[in-house]
């Protein structure tokens, strides 16, 4: 039997800072990674959707992984790396490259996007990755990007695979499948919330933590929220969760990570708010609204 989940708490999918000329800014990646881990994140996620991974070159991806791995080593924290492709063979090759670095604790892998192979094909896909990739897998269940919904039975079957250690639950709802999954997750299988606005009720219902883009900002508050629920401190958790839900909604008012990068730049934490096409920068008014909420928590005492 697999042990209890290793992946609990807050994992932050870092943005990828660019210069105003749209070049990768590795020093800014390093600073952001260190700040995030110093603020209470349990670990980092590199090359997720929030990182604009689809627009990065192969060399840029290697640089981001190398920089994030160095930060995680310095903090004794795990690094998760996003691997997304509809080609099983290509995904295996990417996983093997990551495994060779020795720095990656797990890979975050969606159900094959766009291909929609059905649940049997998805299970075969993850079985091949688990057997041949050499890196533990966290299934990324995000139907509005992959085009395919996974049932509770499919998730349970994936969780029984020896190389699958968790799921990022980002289905856009807390529904019957969610409740069934949280009621009896496979041993050693971490359920991590991925819909930032509903992370509070999800952890209250039994999720082990979250992979939250919003936690590029107010990292300590998101870490505290998860900790409060897991300690059973319901009243302060509900209060903080409601506030952070409003904050997350403001950050996702335009396509992710445009608002997050706008606020980070306004705070002087990254060199520009630049994003690569097909994304466009968030509207200044949207960034201003989110920036005000980003500072709000500092005006109040921390919950007891």
Q: Which residues are identified as catalytic? A: 140, 168
Q: How many helices (H) and strands (E) does the chain have?
A: 12, 8
Element at 137 (helix H, strand E): strand 137-141
| One-character DSSP codes across 180-238 | HHHHSPPTT-EEEE--GGGHHHHHHTT--EEE-GGGGSSHHHHHHHHHHHHHT-HHHHH
Contacts of 257 (CB under 8 A, 6+ apart): 15, 50, 51, 52, 213, 216, 275
Element at 166 (helix H, strand E): strand 164-169
Q: Which residue has tokens 């994003």?
A: 275
| One-character DSSP codes across 88-114 | HHHHHHHHHHHHHHT--SEEEEES-TT
Q: Give the separation between CA 63 and CA 82, rounded to whole angstroms.
A: 14
Taking residue 56's Cβ as centre, other Cβ atoms within 10 Å add up to 17
Q: Give the separation between CA 124 and CA 104, rounded to whole angstroms.
A: 23
Phi, psi of 137 (to 5 degrees): -115, 140
The vertex-154 CA angle with 152 and 156, nearest 5°, equals: 70
């Amino acid at each position: 039997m697999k042990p209890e989940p290793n992946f609990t708490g807050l994992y932050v999918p870092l943005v990828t800072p660019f210069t105003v000329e749209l070049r990768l800014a590795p020093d800014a990646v390093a600073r952001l990674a260190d700040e995030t881990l110093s603020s209470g994140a349990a670990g980092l996620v590199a090359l997720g959707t929030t990182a604009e991974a689809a627009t990065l070159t192969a060399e840029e991806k290697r640089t981001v992984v190398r920089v994030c791995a160095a930060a995680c080593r310095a903090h004794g924290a795990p690094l998760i790396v996003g691997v997304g492709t509809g080609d099983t063979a290509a995904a295996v090759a990417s996983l093997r490259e990551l495994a060779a670095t020795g720095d990656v604790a797990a890979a975050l892998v969606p159900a094959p996007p766009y291909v929609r192979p059905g649940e049997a094909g998805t299970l075969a896909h993850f079985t091949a990755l688990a057997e041949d990739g050499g890196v533990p897998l966290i299934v990324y269940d995000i139907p509005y990007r992959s085009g395919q919904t996974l049932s509770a039975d499919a998730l349970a079957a994936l969780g029984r695979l020896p190389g699958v250690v968790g799921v990022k639950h980002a289905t856009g709802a807390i529904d019957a499948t969610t409740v069934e999954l949280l009621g009896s997750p496979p041993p050693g299988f971490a359920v991590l919330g991925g819909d930032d606005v509903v992370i509070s009720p999800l952890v209250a219902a039994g999720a082990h933590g979250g992979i939250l883009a919003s936690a590029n900002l107010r990292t300590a508050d998101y870490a505290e929220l998860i900790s409060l629920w897991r300690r059973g401190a319901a009243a302060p958790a509900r209060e903080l969760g409601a506030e952070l839900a409003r904050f997350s909604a403001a950050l996702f008012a335009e396509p992710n990570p445009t608002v997050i990068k706008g606020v980070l730049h306004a705070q002087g934490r990254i060199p520009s708010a630049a994003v690569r096409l097909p994304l466009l920068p968030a509207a200044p008014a949207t960034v201003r609204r989110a920036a005000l909420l980003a500072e709000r928590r500092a005006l109040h005492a921390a919950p007891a």
